[in-house]
């Protein structure tokens, strides 16, 4: 049976692991044509091999979202091989635990490059075309850290506040023109994201894991499918999704 997303065309960044890989799997199950993007080609191939592909086509494209020309090439490839892009799911992101006082410039700048500039590259490569077709859905993974700051996660939180402000502006300025803009704000989710940091003080400051069950990437992917499946007159603007045992 064909569902509401059958035959749509989606681009998923950060599709080589974690939430992006789970989104790719969920969209393939919905019959969506999907372009999977990330830097690690082998990991993308492994994700593609595991997909249960219904009638949709799947392509993979090595892409570093910090490089605008690579993002533009990804969108050209998706348009050419799959058709006009209806859905962007921006999952590419990095997270370093760092204390403001410890001035981890390299990690800060990389956070801004991927989480902030990377999103802008994705928007500039998709939004104008979606508006010209009066149809499109932008989904970006923000975070609960896009709503409040956490000690040891200052610059990461700032990058997610950037995501929130950017999406709110996009929604405000394009209202009534066929575009939907969804910010997804997950709490702790079991992915590789937590293993990137070098600032031991910040890791400790953030807090030890409580042992409570955290989200699986599939839980977040399900909330994205929910937003995407709504009829055109319904806009799911924000999804705050957290482990049940945290405040
Ligand atoms: P993962 O580390 O599993 O996934 C991150 C993804 O981003 C990978 O596919 C990685 O692929 C990709 N990526 C990183 N840098 C780049 C780049 N320069 N260009 C293209 N792709 C890149 O972690 P998550 O799945 O958890 O992270 C996905 C999103 O979810 C992030 O935006 C994160 O901030 C957000 N999030 C995660 C939470 C969590 O607790 N896990 C909570 C709240 C939000 P590759 O290395 O192959 O490029």
The answer to whether residue 195 scores a pLDDT higher than 90 is no
Q: Which of residues 245 and 172 earns the better pLDDT score?
A: 172
Residue 211: per-residue pLDDT: 79
Q: Is 113 left (phi over 0), alpha (psi -120 to 50) or beta?
A: alpha
Work out how many domains the chain is built from and give that number: 1
Residue 1: per-residue pLDDT: 66
Residue 161: per-residue pLDDT: 98
For residue 135, give the 3-state DSSP assignment: coil
Q: Which two tokens stand for residue 175?
A: 């209202």
Does residue 247 lie within any of the structural domains? Answer: no
Does residue 3 lie within any of the structural domains? Answer: no
Does residue 186 lie within any of the structural domains? Answer: yes
Tell me how far apart the alpha carbons of residues 19 and 241 are, in angstroms, rounded to a whole number: 13
Tell me the DSSP string of 74-128. Answer: HHHHHHHHH-S--EEEE-------B-GGG--HHHHHHHIIIIIIHHHHHHHTTHH
Does residue 209 lie within any of the structural domains? Answer: yes
Does residue 52 lie within any of the structural domains? Answer: yes
Tell me how far apart the alpha carbons of residues 182 and 220 are, in angstroms, rounded to a whole number: 13
Tell me how far apart the alpha carbons of residues 9 and 12 are, in angstroms, rounded to a whole number: 10
Does residue 187 lie within any of the structural domains? Answer: yes
The average pLDDT across 125-150 equals 98
Q: 31 in ligand 1 pocket by Cβ < 6 Å?
A: no
> What is the number of the ligand 1 atom nearest to the C-alpha of 188?
40
Residue 72 belongs to domain with CATH number: 3.40.50.720
Q: How confident is the model at residue 197 (pLDDT cuts 50, 70, 90)?
A: confident
80 catalytically annotated? no
The average pLDDT across 209-237 equals 94
CA distances from 173 to 40, 121, 167, 178 (A): 35, 18, 10, 12
Tell me how far apart the alpha carbons of residues 193 and 214 are, in angstroms, rounded to a whole number: 13
234 C-alpha to center of ligand 1: Å?
Answer: 28
Residue 2: per-residue pLDDT: 82
Does residue 64 lie within any of the structural domains? Answer: yes
pLDDT tens, residue by residue, 79-117? 999 999 999 999 999 999 999 999 999 999 999 999 999
Q: 14 in ligand 1 pocket by Cβ < 6 Å?
A: yes
> What is the number of the ligand 1 atom nearest to the C-alpha of 186?
43
The answer to whether residue 205 scores a pLDDT higher than 80 is no
The average pLDDT across 60-64 equals 98
User: How many percent of the chain have pLDDT more than 90?
Assistant: 87
Does residue 1 lie within any of the structural domains? Answer: no
The average pLDDT across 138-159 equals 97
97 C-alpha to center of ligand 1: Å?
Answer: 14
Range of the domain at 41: 9-239
Q: Which of residues 195 and 189 earns the better pLDDT score?
A: 189
């Amino acid at each position: 049976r064909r569902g509401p997303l059958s035959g749509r065309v989606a681009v998923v960044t950060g599709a080589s692991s974690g939430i992006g890989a789970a989104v790719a799997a969920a969209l393939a199950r919905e019959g969506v044509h999907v372009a999977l993007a990330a830097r690690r080609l082998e990991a993308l191939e492994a994700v593609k091999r595991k997909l249960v592909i219904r009638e949709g086509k799947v392509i993979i494209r090595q892409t570093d979202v910090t490089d605008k020309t690579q993002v533009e090439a990804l969108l050209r490839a998706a348009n050419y091989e799959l058709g006009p892009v209806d859905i962007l799911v921006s999952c590419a992101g990095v997270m370093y635990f760092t204390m403001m006082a410890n001035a981890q410039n390299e990690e800060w700048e990389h956070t801004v490059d991927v989480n902030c500039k990377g999103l802008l590259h994705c928007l500039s490569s998709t939004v104008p075309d979606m508006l010209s077709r009066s149809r499109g859905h932008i989904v970006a993974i923000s975070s609960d850290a896009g709503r409040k700051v956490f000690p040891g996660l200052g610059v990461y939180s700032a990058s997610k506040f950037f995501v929130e402000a950017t999406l709110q502006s996009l929604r405000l300025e394009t209202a009534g023109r066929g575009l939907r803009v969804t910010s997804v704000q997950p709490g702790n989710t079991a992915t590789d994201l937590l293993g990137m940091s070098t600032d031991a003080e910040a890791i400790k400051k953030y807090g030890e894991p409580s042992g409570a069950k955290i989200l699986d990437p599939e839980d977040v992917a399900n909330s994205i499918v929910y937003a995407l499946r709504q009829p055109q007159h319904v806009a799911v603007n924000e999804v705050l999704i957290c482990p049940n045992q945290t405040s």
